[in-house]
Amino acid sequence: SGGEGPLLIAAGPGSGKTTVLTHRIKYIIEELGAKPGSILVMTFSRAAAEEMKERVVSMVGRRTARGVVMGTFHSVFIRFLRDYAAALGYPPQFTIYDTSDSLALVKTCLKEIPGYHRINFFNIKIKFHVYSPLKIYICKIYISGSTRL
């Protein structure tokens, strides 16, 4: 069983990580009596996440497996963000932009600035960092539905 508490498995392909995790999930639910919603399983790839879900369903049943929080790191955290968006003051139907989408939005917003056409952006590269103040400001405006900068 590996004991109680968190477990991290790091091993190469084909070494049995999914088998170990699915059996542990079954053990925690059936032997230790844990509620499925108290179990969090994250993996890197969609394929691994889907395989894990299928195996857990076959071991504990669809209804029980539905309660286990399983998926890729991205899908799990997007789920958390959507579940708690209202508590953070955001709608749950938010959009997550990648770097190229963010840059396109900034360029669109910049075009709204009077005199933009006189600014030479030819040799300027706009580089975004994850928590760039400009990016956060633009996202807040976008979420609020305002068309004004």
Give CA–CA dist 41/78, Å, rounded: 14
Question: What's the pLDDT at 76?
Answer: 93
Beta-bridge mates of residue 41: 70
Q: What is the pLDDT along the chain (149 residues), one digit of tens a residue?
A: 556 777 788 888 889 888 988 999 999 999 999 999 999 999 888 998 999 999 999 999 999 999 999 999 999 998 988 899 889 888 888 888 877 887 788 777 777 766 655 555 544 554 544 456 666 666 666 666 655 55
Question: What's the pLDDT at 130?
Answer: 47
Chain centre distance of CA 98: 12
20, 28 in Cβ contact below 8 A? no
Question: What's the pLDDT at 22?
Answer: 92
Residues 6+ apart with CB under 8 A from 7: 21, 24
Question: What's the pLDDT at 116?
Answer: 59
Closest C-alpha to 94, from 105, 108, 83: 83
Give CA–CA dist 70/55, Å, rounded: 12
Question: What's the pLDDT at 105?
Answer: 80
Question: What's the pLDDT at 3?
Answer: 61
Question: What's the pLDDT at 128?
Answer: 45
